[in-house]
Structure 1
Amino acid sequence: MHKFLFIAAGGAAGSLSRYLVSGMVQRMIDSSFPAGTFAVNMLGCLFFGIVTGLFEERLGFPPEMRLFILTGFMGAFTTFSTYMFESTTLVKSGQWVMAALNVGGQSLLGFLCIVGGLALGRLIVS
């Protein structure tokens, strides 16, 4: 049960951080380009990489810390970082085709799912 509390606490901190960082960047850029989301995704990837690198070196972090930071905080801050980490893992293991399918597939299908979902939502309402 305590694992869930670490994940939930990290998730709360991550979602609040995403909201604050994204909003701050978007106000600074003042553009129709989603710079806030872009910044959060890139910061998330950088932070995910740093933290994972630290954990891989086994610097004595307890497993609860990994749950709090990677699963909770990063999962709420941005799942884009997990998506990129998994794609990188595929590349590192020589699975280039799978990595390309993951990146291309999630990007294209995600876009199509949003378009389809918007259409379905509008159809339901009308």
Structure 2
Amino acid sequence: MMWLFIALGGAAGALARYSLMTLVHASRIGTNGAWQLLPIGTLIVNVLGSLLIGMLYVLIIEKMILPAEFRSLLVVGLLGAFTTFSTFSLDTVLLLEQGFWLQAITYTLLSVVLCVLAAWLGMAILRLVA
């Protein structure tokens, strides 16, 4: 049964990531300049996923408000497919290969700092309210 939960969560996470990234890409059409190359869609997905994993950690592990079975569905399946370290890595390498060093460094720093802060914020919020 756990495999089914992971698969269902993974399908939902992949569809959510695709939808959000498509929406972000469509909103950026027509913008100009080298900063347009910054992979904002992937950044948003990873920061949001980090916020959610912090919240789910508190709900499932610390407070035990949600059953442990939800970890497989939501953390492993949904967020595992929603967030994407491999896309982040590829986006960074492509920026570097194209000579956009400043954008690559900015994107890397933003990704690491914002994702860690988002995970902490998600935990902090749920620790206060749950």
CA RMSD of aligned residues (A): 2.2
Instruction: Provide runs of 4+ in structure 1 moved above 4 Å.
Output: none
Q: Deviations over 1:47-69 (max 9, x none)?
A: 11111122233333222211100
Residue correspondence of structure 1 range 81-96 to structure 2 within 5 A: none
- Where does residue 25 of structure 1 map in the other structure? 24
Match of 1:37 in 2: 42
For 1:14 and 1:42, the matched residues in 2 are separated by 14
TM-score, length-normalised on structure 1? 0.58
| Correspondence for 1:15 | 14
Q: Is the 8 A contact 1:11 1:73 kept in 2?
A: yes
> 1:62 pairs with 38, 62, 67, which one?
67
Where structure 1 has 5 or more consecutive residues not aligned to the other structure, the ranges are: 81-106, 116-126
Structure with the bigger RCO (C-alpha within 8 Å, sep 6+) is: 2
Deviation at 1:79, TM superposition (A): 4.4
Q: Give the letter for the 1:66 counterpart.
A: R
Unpaired segments ≥5 residues, structure 2: 30-35, 98-130
- The counterpart of 1:77, out of the listed 77, 82, 95, is 82
Note if contact 2:42-2:84 (Cα within 8 Å) is conserved in structure 1.
no
TM-score (norm 2): 0.56
Contact 1:26 1:34 in 2 (8 A): no
Q: Does 1:51 align with 2:50?
A: no
CA contact (8 A) 2:9 2:78 kept: yes
Q: Distance in 2 between matches of 1:67 and 1:53?
A: 15
Q: Distance in 1 between matches of 2:58 and 2:84?
A: 18
Structure of higher CA gyration radius: 1
State the distance in 1 between where 2:3 and 2:57 align: 20
Name the CA distance, whole Å, in 2 between partners of 1:50 and 1:63: 14
- Per-residue Cα deviation, 1:31-89 (whole angstroms, up to 9, x for no partner): 33211111101111111111112223333322221110000001100144xxxxxxxxx
Offset at residue 27 of structure 1 (A): 1.6
- Percent identity over paired residues: 42
Total equivalences in the alignment: 84
- Tell me the residue number matched to 2:114: none
Partner of 2:5: 6
